[in-house]
């Protein structure tokens, strides 16, 4: 089993009100089979043993699907590997003795809670503003009433895979939520059952983006590069035509 | 002493019983609904769907979850698919009866027949509901819904959205929920841990939560509480569940008087990425759907360390196909897990420590082409490659069984109410249809059946009798008591200030549980396990170290509260496993097996659900719900 040593430069901030700073930690003899989060678990165990406060970071499924994890590794949301969430980032992707700078996905719409944890509830409010189909339970027609060809079903599915991690927003210099919103609009807008509210949904979600303080899209495609689910920025142009 | 429990199954023919019940439900006027407060704990498939549906009906609902958003609940990780008896084409031979039969058989006749019947009857409406919400299920060439086959079934009835079915179903429920949050009928309370219940004279009237941002204890009063807090297989530390999945809410309810049913019946999933080394924090499932195309094998020679590509066809043992010709690689999970463990124990296993078997896509790739296989399993293949660093398109995957799904949970009657009046339990947290070895792809189905259809209907009967105001002097006192108990529990843990971090205890607990109460169990192992846990529990309460600051986020305290509960639950699991002197489905007691090494059920003495009552300072009391089968005769499970 290969082993490496890494230096972690980590943003420490006790609470929203306190000031933060970077603190450096060195970890030796790390198996390259560990994930980056498992390395942080190990570091936390050492911190607790020393009587220090462990590092707080969000995580849950550790399978790349819940969207909880996510911070910047050397300036990149979810780190250097394409199409990979941070919990799926393994140490075999790093060279021995590298320094990794870890900092929160900080934008004004994602205030820091503690260390690497931020508040992403603005994304829930975007969905709340219109990201749904609106029939009540028990009123659904037979599922085969809607026929959907395979291409449309798959295309809708691909946009539906957005995990709401917010990496697109943290990578954008304008903090635009366009990719996240476009993904939801395209997911529902490509299916027959999403047609009824299609333009209303688009205008409400776009309006909500503005009122949450997200910036506008200036097409620099950083969002697409950061997205762990490889959602294409073409959907943003698709969205821009939606409620006209 | 044992008592017999009444599950409140409707009288008469169970076929269609649910429809009859629905017609006789009481009517609650909108005016009265508005005055009734419902608290739903959990934003997974069961909780989100229940909260959305109840809010649509006009009830004010509060939804509590420890996640920062309901979209992140553990249900999001379900991969394979959801079963439904839905006819897609005229010539489909599947129907309600077939799904019902497979569910009861999959449960090895340790599930309640009437609930299994209801599940099969509702299943088709669930697919309608989800499609209507925009769940992008896979489609066939003709635009109709597509299905695939899952373990334990002979027909193809599993609906899916690639390997992300749970994600898509959850987003459907979450979006419906957020629509209700937007119209202010649901109040969303994220980042809160439910750690105690308000118990007013034996009736549940609310919960105490710890706000995970500032550590404050908060009280939420209610006319009814719905628990949809998921499964507890993290008692094994390494499992396929999300890291934060836990047993605390159900365990706290148990300590208040809710009976815990069949706690030891844990499903071990045969196809997980095996343990890689120290500090591994969880095990990742490779969906069972891979067994549609993947063939499972081991070298015929023991301790064979050659590269799999050097092992010729005649030197390979496709052991499931050899032993079970009609089900082959799609035998139920307990059978596949046991056979894999046995062969690894005998030295035929592969990988670092000989604790894996091969799951090989080679033949399917040759037959169907790499493109088709990638299209079908794309994300699973990528996931494996990322974690293990090997490409399953060119090398067989290595897999091993891992704790996955807990079939035990709080005992509920046919209306999903626990033995604590006012407390309803939905989804994986309850113990209704699971029996001993539930059918693959039935869990999602059960969560949504409970959440969209059953819970929101059956709760009406309870609420009808409780339309009065719940604020009173007595109620204030009950809230105060619950708050004080909770505060004391937290202080006691923080004050230990020992020298060992929580995770170390959790890992040690997991080790004991997998060895003593894992794929197989036996009497001496279970007794030893009980002793080991007793010692570990003592050590935990004397030596755990948690950072002191409690008025800010303190994830170590969150973990410690959970591990303290897991330690107690583990004891109940071992006792339950000891007292079930038979083998049924996933519960394999080595003393009770056929000469061929299959489970030996004892219908004479154990055709029941064992429901345990907590007794402070003393051994738990076992109650029985006797199971009888009217539509289907219990017969031997055979997958030959
Ligand atoms: C990897 C994996 C794959 C699976 N694949 C399939 C499949 O293909 N098909 C299938 O049918 N089943 C599958 N299952 C099983 C299925 O996913 C689960 O049984 C189901 O999703 C459980 O849903 P739930 O709503 O009961 O609970 P969960 O989704 O676990 O939700 C629990 C909720 O309760 C909240 N909660 C818990 N405790 C507390 C507390 N104390 N305080 C506050 N909130 C709390 C959580 O925040 C969360 O919102 C899979 C399971 C796993 C682990
Ligand atoms: S679009 Fe991509 S980057 Fe943005 S929230 Fe969704 S998954 Fe994350
Ligand atoms: S922890 Fe769930 S996506 Fe990373």
- Average confidence (pLDDT) over B625-638: 86
The torsion of the CA quartet B42, B45, B48, B54, rounded to 10 degrees, works out to -110
- Average confidence (pLDDT) over B85-98: 83
Which residues are CB-contacts of A71 (< 8 A; sequence separation ≥ 6)? A57, A77, A86, A102, A103, A104, A105, A116
CA distances from B44 to B71, B97, B185 (A): 8, 28, 18
Which residues, in sequence order, are bridge partners of residue A198? none
**Is A49:B556 a contact under the CB 8 Å cutoff?**
no
**Is B77:B263 a contact under the CB 8 Å cutoff?**
no
Which ligand number lies closest to the CA of residue B47?
A: 1
User: What are the two backbone dihedrals, phi and then psi, of residue B20, each rounded to the nearest 5 degrees?
Assistant: -65, -40
SS3 for B536?
A: helix
**DSSP symbol at B308:** G
Judged against a pLDDT cut of 50, whether residue B1 lies above it is answered with no
Which residues have C-beta atoms less than 6 Å from ligand 1?
A: B 41-47, 64-67, 73-75, 77-82, 165-166, 193-194, 228-231, 240-241, 245-246, 248-249, 285, 404-405, 427-429, 441-444, 447
Q: How far is the CA of A78 from the centre of ligand 2 (A)?
A: 11
Q: Find which of B74, B144, B182, B404 to mutate to test the A interface (most A CBs within 10 Å of its CB).
A: B182
- A-B contacts at Cβ under 8 angstroms: 215
DSSP states of B402-433? EEEEE--EE---TTSB-SSTTEEE-GGGB-SS
Looking at A8-12, B78-82, B236-240, B633-637, which range is the least confident one?
B633-637
Q: What angle do CA A237, A238, A243 make, to 5 degrees?
A: 105
The torsion of the CA quartet B86, B92, B94, B96, rounded to 10 degrees, works out to 40
Question: Is residue B600 classed exposed, middle or buried when 0-12, 13-18 and 19+ CB atoms within 10 A define those classes?
Answer: middle
How do residues B71-81 score in pLDDT, each as one tens digit? Answer: 999 999 998 89
Q: Are B547 and A48 in contact (CB < 8 Å)? A: yes
The pLDDT of residue B289: 79
Q: Is A122 in the pocket of ligand 3 (CB under 6 A)?
A: no
Supply the ipTM of this predicted assembly: 0.98
Tokens representing B209 are 């939560």
- Average confidence (pLDDT) over B489-496: 96
Q: Which helix (H) or strand (E) holds B357?
A: strand B357-360
Q: Is A166 in the pocket of ligand 3 (CB under 6 A)?
A: no
- Average confidence (pLDDT) over B38-54: 98
- Average confidence (pLDDT) over B339-358: 92
CA distances from A50 to B278, B499, B547, B602 (A): 21, 9, 11, 54
Q: Give the torsion sign (CA, B268, B271, B272, B273).
A: positive
Which residues are CB-contacts of B269 (< 8 A; sequence separation ≥ 6)? B240, B285, B288, B333, B337, B401, B402, B403, B404, B405
For residue A122, give the nearest of A142, A107, A134 by alpha carbon. A107
Question: Is residue B394 classed exposed, middle or buried when 0-12, 13-18 and 19+ CB atoms within 10 A define those classes?
Answer: exposed
The pLDDT of residue B288: 78
Alpha carbons A84 and A81: distance in angstroms, whole number: 6
Alpha carbons B312 and B639: distance in angstroms, whole number: 28
The pLDDT of residue B152: 66
- From first to last of the 244 residues of chain A, give the pLDDT tens digit: 789 999 999 999 998 889 999 999 999 999 999 999 999 999 999 999 999 999 999 999 999 999 999 999 999 999 999 999 999 999 999 999 999 999 999 889 999 999 999 999 999 999 999 999 988 887 899 998 889 999 999 999 999 999 999 999 999 999 999 999 999 999 999 999 999 999 999 999 999 999 999 999 999 999 999 999 999 999 999 999 987 6
The pLDDT of residue B80: 85
- Summary mean pLDDT of chain B: 93
Centroid of chain to Cα B477: 35
For residue B59, give the nearest of B465, B472, B475, B460 by alpha carbon. B460
The pLDDT of residue B639: 67
Angle between helices A150-160 and A178-189 (to 10 degrees): 150
Q: Which helix (H) or strand (E) holds A8?
A: strand A3-12
Alpha carbons A2 and B526: distance in angstroms, whole number: 38
- Average confidence (pLDDT) over B335-339: 92
Note which residues in 521-580 of chain B have CB less than 8 A from chain A: 545, 547, 549, 552-553, 555-556
Name the residue at shortest CA distance from atom 3 of ligand 2. Answer: A227
Alpha carbons B529 and B523: distance in angstroms, whole number: 10
**Is B306:B556 a contact under the CB 8 Å cutoff?**
no
Best residue among B39, B42, B126 to mutate for probing ligand 1's pocket (most ligand atoms within 8 Å of CB) is: B42
SS3 for B225?
A: strand
Q: Is the pTM of this model over 0.90?
A: yes
Place of tokens 């930690």: A25
Q: Are B243 and A59 in contact (CB < 8 Å)? A: yes
Q: Find which of A65, A112, A113, A155 to mutate to test the B interface (most B CBs within 10 Å of its CB).
A: A65
Q: Are B383 and A41 in contact (CB < 8 Å)? A: no
Alpha carbons B103 and B598: distance in angstroms, whole number: 19
- Average confidence (pLDDT) over B556-571: 98
Between β-strands B357-360 and B397-406, what pairing exists: parallel, antiparallel or unpaired? Answer: antiparallel
Which ligand number lies closest to the CA of residue B243?
A: 3
């Amino acid at each position: 089993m290969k082993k490496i040593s890494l230096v972690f430069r980590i943003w420490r901030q006790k609470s929203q009100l306190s000031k933060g700073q970077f603190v450096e930690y060195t970890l030796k003899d790390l198996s390259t089979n560990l994930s980056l989060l498992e390395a942080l678990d190990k570091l936390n165990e050492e911190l607790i043993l020393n009587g220090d406060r462990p590092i707080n970071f969000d995580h849950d499924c550790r399978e790349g699907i819940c969207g909880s994890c996510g911070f910047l590794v050397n300036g990149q949301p979810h780190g250097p590997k394409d199409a990979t969430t941070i919990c799926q980032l393994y140490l075999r992707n790093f060279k021995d003795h590298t320094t990794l700078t870890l900092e929160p996905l900080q934008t004004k719409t994602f205030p820091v809670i503690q260390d690497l944890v931020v508040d992403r509830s603005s994304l829930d409010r975007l969905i709340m503003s219109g990201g749904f189909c609106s029939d009540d339970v028990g009123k659904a027609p037979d599922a085969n009433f809607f026929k959907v060809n395979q291409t449309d079903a798959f295309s809708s599915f691909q946009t539906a895979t957005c995990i709401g991690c917010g990496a697109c927003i943290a990578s954008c210099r304008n903090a635009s939520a366009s990719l996240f919103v476009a993904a939801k609009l395209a997911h529902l807008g490509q299916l027959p059952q999403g047609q009824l509210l299609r333009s209303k949904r688009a205008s409400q979600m776009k309006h909500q983006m503005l009122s949450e303080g997200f910036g506008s899209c200036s097409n620099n495609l950083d969002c697409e590069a950061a997205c762990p689910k490889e959602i294409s920025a073409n959907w943003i142009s698709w969205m821009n035509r939606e409620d006209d | 002493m044992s008592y017999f429990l009444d599950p409140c199954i409707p009288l008469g023919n169970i076929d269609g019983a649910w429809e009859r019940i629905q017609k006789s439900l009481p009517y609650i006027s909108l005016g009265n609904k508005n005055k009734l407060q419902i608290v739903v704990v959990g934003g997974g498939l069961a909780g989100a769907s229940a909260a959305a549906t109840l809010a649509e009906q006009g009830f004010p609902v509060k939804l509590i979850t420890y996640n920062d958003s309901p979209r992140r609940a553990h249900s999001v990780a379900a991969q394979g698919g959801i079963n439904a008896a839905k006819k897609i084409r005229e010539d489909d031979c599947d129907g309600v009866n077939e799904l019902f039969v497979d569910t009861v058989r999959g449960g090895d006749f340790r599930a309640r027949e009437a609930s299994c019947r209801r599940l099969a009857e509702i299943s088709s409406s669930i697919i309608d509901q989800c499609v209507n919400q925009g769940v992008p299920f896979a489609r066939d060439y003709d635009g109709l819904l597509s299905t695939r086959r899952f373990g334990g079934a002979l027909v193809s009835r599993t609906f899916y959205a690639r390997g992300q079915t749970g994600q898509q179903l959850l987003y459907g429920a979450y979006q419906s929920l957020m629509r209700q949050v937007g119209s202010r009928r649901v109040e969303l309370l994220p980042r809160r841990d439910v750690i105690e219940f308000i118990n007013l004279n034996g009736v549940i009237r609310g919960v105490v939560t710890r706000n995970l941002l500032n550590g404050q204890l908060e009280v939420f009063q209610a006319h009814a509480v719905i628990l949809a807090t998921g499964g507890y297989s993290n008692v094994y530390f390494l499992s396929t569940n999300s890291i934060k999945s836990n047993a605390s809410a159900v365990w706290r309810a148990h300590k208040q008087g809710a009976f815990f049913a069949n706690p030891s019946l844990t499903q071990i999933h045969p196809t997980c990425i095996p343990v890689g080394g120290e500090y591994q924090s969880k095990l990742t499932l490779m969906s069972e759907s891979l067994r549609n195309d993947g063939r499972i094998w081991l070298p015929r020679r023991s301790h064979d360390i050659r590269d799999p590509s050097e092992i010729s066809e005649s030197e390979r043992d496709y052991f499931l196909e050899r032993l079970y010709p009609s089900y082959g690689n799609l035998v139920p999970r307990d059978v596949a897990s046991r056979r894999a463990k046995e062969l690894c124990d005998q030295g035929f296993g592969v990988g670092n420590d000989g604790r894996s078997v091969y799951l090989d896509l080679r033949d399917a790739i040759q037959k169907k082409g790499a493109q088709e296989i990638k299209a079908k399993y794309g994300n699973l293949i990528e996931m494996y490659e990322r974690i293990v660093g090997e490409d399953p398109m060119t090398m067989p995957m290595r897999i091993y069984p891992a704790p996955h799904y807990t079939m035990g949970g709080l005992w509920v009657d046919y209306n999903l109410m626990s033995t604590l009046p006012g407390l309803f339990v939905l989804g994986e947290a309850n113990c209704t249809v699971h029996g001993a070895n539930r059918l693959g792809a039935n869990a999602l189905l059960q969560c949504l059946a409970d959440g969209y259809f059953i819970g929101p209907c059956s709760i009406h009967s309870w609420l009808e009798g409780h339309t009065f105001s719940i604020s009173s002097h007595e109620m204030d006192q009950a809230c105060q008591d619950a708050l004080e108990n909770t505060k004391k529990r937290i202080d006691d843990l923080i004050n230990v200030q020992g020298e060992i971090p929580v995770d170390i205890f959790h890992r040690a607990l997991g080790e004991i549980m997998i060895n003593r109460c894992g794929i197989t169990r036996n009497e001496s192992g279970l007794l030893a396990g009980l002793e080991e846990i007793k010692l570990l529990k003592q050590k935990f309460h004397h030596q755990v170290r948690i950072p002191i600051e409690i008025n800010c986020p303190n994830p170590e305290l969150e973990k410690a509260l959970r591990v303290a509960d897991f330690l107690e639950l583990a004891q109940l699991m071992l006792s339950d496993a000891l007292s079930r002197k038979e083998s049924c489905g996933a519960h394999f007691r080595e003393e009770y097996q056929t000469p061929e090494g299959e489970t030996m059920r004892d219908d004479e003495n154990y055709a029941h659900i064992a429901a345990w009552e907590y007794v402070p300072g003393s051994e738990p009391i076992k109650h029985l719900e006797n199971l009888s089968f009217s539509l289907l005769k219990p017969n031997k499970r055979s997958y030959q």
